[in-house]
Structure formats: C-alpha cells, structure tokens
Copies of this chain bind each other. A is one copy, B any other.
Amino acid sequence: MSDRRKRRRPDPDSDSESDTRPFKHLLKPDATILSSLRTLASSAAASSSKTLTLSDLRLSAACREVSDLPPSAVQSAIESLAVSLARSILSGQGFSFTVPSRSSANQLYVPELDRIVLKDKTSLRPYSSVSTVRKTTITTRILHLIHQLCLKNIHVTKRDLFYTDVKLFQDQTQSDAVLDDVSCILGCTRSSLNVVAAEKGVVVGRLIFSDNGDMIDCTKMGMGGKAIPPNIDRVGDMKSDALFILLVEKDAAYMRLAEDRFYNRFPCIIVTAKGQPDVATRLFLRKMKMELKLPVLALVDSDPYGLKILSVYGCGSKNMSYDSANLTTPDIKWLGIRPSDLDKYKIPEQCRLPMTEQDIKTGKDLLEEDFVKKNPGWVEELNLMVKSKQKAEIQALSSFGFQYLSEVYLPLKLQQRDWL
C-alpha cells in the first residue's frame, strides 16, 4: 500500500526516488543517447554551411543590411561621408544625410532567411530645414564621436555616449535613436561602432574561447560560469567538443545544469541571458553556432514569452531588424518545456498556472507571426497552449525532485530527439 501511494504521488525528496520518478524507467544508457546526439551534431554541421543571404535571394538591392566592419573601415566610411558632405556644401547644394527608414512599415519577414529584414526606403535629413536641423546636428556629432572611438579602439556604452554632450542630445532616447541611424547609414553593425550594451549572459560547458586576449576554458568556470563579454569583436578562437548548444531562458535552470555539470554527461555548451536576450548574448550565440556549427536546443518556459524569447534569438527583434543577419541564430530547435509536455510529463495541476488575458492575447498574436506559421509543430503547440489556457515554468519540473530536469527530463528529451 505504501509502495503504491509512492508511485502515484511523486515524492521529490525521497532518497530512493530513482525508481519512482515518472519516465525515469524509459531512459536508455547514456551511450545510446550520445550516439543519437552525434548524428544531430553532424547533420547540423552539414546543413549550416549553406546559410542563405539576401544576395542569394536577389534581394540585396531591395533590402538593407549591415555587416561587421573593423574599426579602420568604420573610420574610413565616416571620412568618405564627411568628404561627400563637404563636396555637396561646396557645390552649393547644402548638406543632408540619407537615412534608411527603420519604421515597421519598412520591415519584412523573409521566410527563406527566417528573419526580419529592413527594406530599402530612405529619407533625407537636410541641415537647412527647421524640422531636421537638430537631428542633423546630432547625427554629425555622433559620427564625430564614433570616429574617435574607432581611432582609439575603445568601447563605451550608449549611456557614455549620451553624457559626452548632454546639452545637445537632451535625453538618451535621442542619441540612442541616432546611433541606430548611424549604423544604417554606414552599413555596419552597432558593435562595429564600438558602442556596446550591458552584458548579462553567462556561459558554461565544453567551450574554449579568447576574451580580449585571455583564453577562457568554460569547463573550468565552476558553477558561476563565465560572463559573456559585451564586445563580440574581442571574442575569438572558439573551440569545442560539444555535440549541441543548450540555450536556457532562465538563471535557475542554468544553475541546476551548471552545478550538476550536465555538460560532462552530455557534451554541450550551456548559455543563458537570464531572461530577455541582450545583444551581447545574441551575438555570442550566433558566433558559437556559426563557428562551431552545432545544433541549438532551447529550454524555455511553456508560455508565450518563452516562445517570444526563442523568436528573438532566432529571427530578431523589430527594433534592430537592420542588423538581423548578425544578431540572429538560424534553426534553433524548441526542446521544451512545450505545452504538450505538461500532460506528457504529467506536470501536477497545481504547478500549472492559468494564463492571463494578456498571455492569451500574446499567444494569439504569435500565431499570426510568420516565423511561427512556417513551423507547423510550433503552431500546433501554441494552439494547444491558447486552448488549454495553461502555462508552466521550467521550474515546475522541480515537483518531481530538484534534479529531475538534469537527470530525467533533459536526457529523455535528447534520447527521444523530442524537439521541433
């Protein structure tokens, strides 16, 4: 009787829990799972070599993209621009910038590329107009500051940039917006401008890379992991014997996997931005994917925001669509927690949360997005979520024991190749 009760109600703390934890009995030996992962890794390496670009689709004229440029190239681009402006003034035509439009009307989702890109609409920003004289001045000043940053090759934050001329910029939204304009004008990424965002991501596992000249071995970073550097241009020499990259939405799940050294049982690199993806983590993930040619599996909450976070890594945010080629990581697989997992893994009712009206609206909006639509599996899962009106966090798995995530759920997911 006591035995039967144990089987029905999972006890997260029982010492001899190994047998009673749901689905534990389905797990095959690690060697079997590993060999299946090796197949996954080699197919990812084969497929990722043929990433499509705008020019493959003959869209380079109709769309605008920026690329990574070394500081010296940014410097020359600014100098050429200055010369052309001076010529224009000398020829009596005054001076104006041609600025690509970054409005959503000028954005396009390209299914072949699976990301949002910027179309080719531009607008003129003349100095000799009351409505644009201020913005033209700010643009010139930002170009001047960027030129200095590239000359010295140092990195600053947007906040630093704002404070160099508060009188002119007035508030930071103004200098920030012009900074994005300058990226588009020069055709280079924001990181090429040496303006970086605050870092918050961490990485741990089977990865060696150089950060500003120092070699970092991420298997020797304890539980805390290595903070992801804010400036991707000083990151290089990536080496790894991992079979996949595990992209984790949240800190708590990351911690569990780091403490259990999950990456030693299943060779992988574990990375998290601790919530909303920041630019540094997105750049780092893409760089890993591109250089190491590894498959990326995502572990996110089973709610609309989990999928949204996955989508920002995968196909970019609208705000920085001009840089989607550099910020996005193609072909991220949705490993879990998926809405269908809730029943499949018998997540107890009390660990599921009812979706709010706002959640349901966000879920329905996602169903209209192209990047979701093109993946029938995702549509099915999202439909299930919206219909059941239930969500769950990764942490809900703790109801089967604190290490259920690392010892049963993830190994089983990998064994069953259960990703979409």
Contacts and interface: CB of A to CB of B under 8 A. Distances in A.
A395 B198 CA distance: 14
A220 B214 contact: yes
Contacts of A162: 395
A224 to B, nearest CB: 4
B160 A252 contact: yes
B259 A212 contact: yes
B198 A402 contact: no
Interface residues of A, number: 68
A395 B220 CA distance: 34
Contact of A15 (B151, B220, B222): B151
A348 B214 contact: no
Interface stretch (A101-109, A113-121, A229-237): A229-237
A366 interface: no
A20 to B, nearest CB: 14
Contact of A227 (B145, B224, B351): B224
Interface in A329-373: 348, 350-351
Nearest to A396: B163
Contacts of A210: 222
Contacts of A238: none
A274 interface: yes
A155 interface: yes
A160 B259 CA distance: 14
A72 interface: no
Contact of A226 (B156, B161, B198, B221): B221
Contact of A395 (B12, B144, B159): B159
Nearest to A151: B15
Contact of A350 (B166, B199, B259, B274): B166
A163 B395 contact: yes
Contacts of A200: 200, 274
B399 A350 contact: no
A211 B350 CA distance: 36
Contact of A214 (B148, B156, B222, B229): B222
Interface string A388-413: 00000101111100110000000000
Interface string A117-149: 000000000000000000000000000110111
A196 interface: yes
Contacts of A251: 157, 198-199
A186 to B, nearest CB: 17
Contacts of A234: 222-223
A265 to B, nearest CB: 15
Contact of A145 (B13, B163, B230, B403): B13
Contact of A399 (B164, B198, B212, B221): B164
A350 B403 CA distance: 54
Interface in A140-194: 144-145, 147-149, 151-152, 154-157, 159-167
Nearest to A166: B350
A144 B234 CA distance: 48
A202 B399 CA distance: 31
A98 B234 CA distance: 56
Given A230-B255, A351-B166, A149 B221 contact: no
Given A155-B255, A163-B351, A216-B221, A227 B230 contact: no
Interface of A: 12-13, 15, 144-145, 147-149, 151-152, 154-157, 159-167, 196, 198-200, 202, 210-216, 219-231, 234-235, 251-252, 255-256, 259-260, 274, 348, 350-351, 393, 395-399, 402-403
12 contacts: A13-B164, A154-B259, A155-B259, A160-B252, A162-B395, A163-B399, A167-B350, A199-B202, A199-B224, A211-B223, A222-B234, A224-B226
Given A163-B397, A166-B399, 9 more contacts: A13-B144, A149-B402, A157-B395, A159-B393, A166-B350, A198-B252, A198-B274, A211-B223, A227-B227
